[in-house]
Amino acid sequence: MVAIAVVVSIYILWPFPDEPLLKLIRHQWFLHSFSVIFTITVAQVWLISVISGHLDGKYKWEQRSYHRTIGQLLIGGVIPVAVSGLISWFWFRYLQADIHSIRYAYNRYMFKAIVDIALILNLVYLGYSIGGYLKERLKEETKELEIKSFPDHLYLPAPDGKEEIKVQVSEIAYLCRKGKNTLLRAQDGRAFVFWQSLDKVEKQLDPDQFYRISRAYIVNRKAVRSWQKQADRSLLLEVRPQNSEPVKISRDRAGRVISWIKKEALATNGHSNE
């Protein structure tokens, strides 16, 4: 707030006379001008910040952008100007100075300076709010494009490197690491062994449907039958088709895995064993 107040105060008082700064700041008119404008600007920065936060919560840009803009200019203009007028009146009384006899921003009267400050700050906050809204919209649109870009099929290199296995993503139940190779288990029980790391496969799968539950497993949410919490707060996951060995999840990942599973109705995913 102080940094913004300094910048705005300098802008209001600009241009300065062609004389050394140390000599300039000794002028009584300059000290009066800068002190009052700086105090008013600090107050306005705080007031407009509070008003902007209130308007952001009441009027969403995607729903009521017109009301949000008008509210910022009216409420964010009238209240700070009124409060600034009281501050300047008190400040002049304290300095025992005549408001009409002091040079503010080179013959600009105080009221105009107050209105200018309010307008500048409201435009800055409007630009900041609109920029934040557009940035969030861009993130959402980018995320939607990324979700739509996941392939329907995977082409997985066979261990001998002489062929590729074509697998439909919707048919995958889970993938697990088997030594240097990777095992893919389809929902109908078929198994495919291929030569590719889980890290590379994970990048091709929709994270809303597939989850890296451990370093050795990627699981389709539909393949989860149940889970069981252990004494050490780790998790044992039962998948279908059933795996030859239990799927264990460390306690660090257990909470995140359960939250991910519960994104879909438990009626379709199985039940939980507490």
Closest alpha carbon to 219 in 232, 235, 230, 231: 235
Q: ∠ at Cα 251 (245, 253), nearest 5°?
A: 85
Q: For residues 205 and 192, is the Cβ–Cβ distance under 8 A? A: no
Q: Percent of the chain, pLDDT > 90?
A: 13
Domain span including residue 56 = 2-148
Q: Are residues 115 and 165 in the same domain?
A: no
Q: For the beta carbon of residue 86, count every other beta carbon within 10 angstroms.
A: 10
Q: Are residues 170 and 38 in the same domain?
A: no
Question: Does 114 reside within a domain?
Answer: yes
Q: Are residues 87 and 112 in the same domain?
A: yes
Q: Are residues 132 and 158 in the same domain?
A: no
Give the tokens for residue 54: 């209130």
Q: Are residues 209 and 130 in the same domain?
A: no
Confidence of residue 167 (pLDDT cuts 50, 70, 90): very high
Number of domains in the chain: 2
CATH number, residue 175: 2.40.50.1020
Q: Are residues 209 and 185 in the same domain?
A: yes
Lowest mean per-residue pLDDT among 12-21, 35-44, 215-224: 12-21
Amino acid at 141: E
Q: Cα–Cα distance between 59 and 8 in angstroms, integer?
A: 28
First vs last Cα of the chain: how many Å apart?
A: 52
Question: Does 116 reside within a domain?
Answer: yes
Average pLDDT, the chain: 79
Q: Are residues 8 and 127 in the same domain?
A: yes
Q: For residues 83 and 43, is the Cβ–Cβ distance under 8 A? A: yes
Question: Does 27 reside within a domain?
Answer: yes
Lowest mean per-residue pLDDT among 12-16, 66-70, 82-86, 97-101: 97-101
Q: Are residues 22 and 109 in the same domain?
A: yes
Which residue, 111, 126, 148, sits at the end of a domain? 148
- 3-class SS at 127? helix
Confidence of residue 264 (pLDDT cuts 50, 70, 90): low
Q: Cα–Cα distance between 68 and 73 in angstroms, integer?
A: 9
Question: Does 274 reside within a domain?
Answer: no
Q: Are residues 134 and 254 in the same domain?
A: no
Which residue, 96, 131, 148, sits at the end of a domain? 148
Closest alpha carbon to 41 in 2, 94, 77: 2
Q: What is the pLDDT of residue 39?
A: 80
Q: Are residues 64 and 127 in the same domain?
A: yes
Q: Which long-range contacts (CB under 8 A, 24 or more apart) does 135-143 make?
A: 137/62
Q: Are residues 28 and 162 in the same domain?
A: no
Closest alpha carbon to 225 in 184, 260, 268, 259: 268
Q: Cα–Cα distance between 25 and 122 in angstroms, integer?
A: 29
pLDDT in tens, 189-235: 999 999 888 999 998 898 888 999 988 999 998 898 888 888 888 88
Q: What is the pLDDT of residue 124?
A: 83
Which residue, 109, 131, 148, sits at the end of a domain? 148
Q: Cα–Cα distance between 78 and 84 in angstroms, integer?
A: 10
Q: What pTM did the predictor assign?
A: 0.44
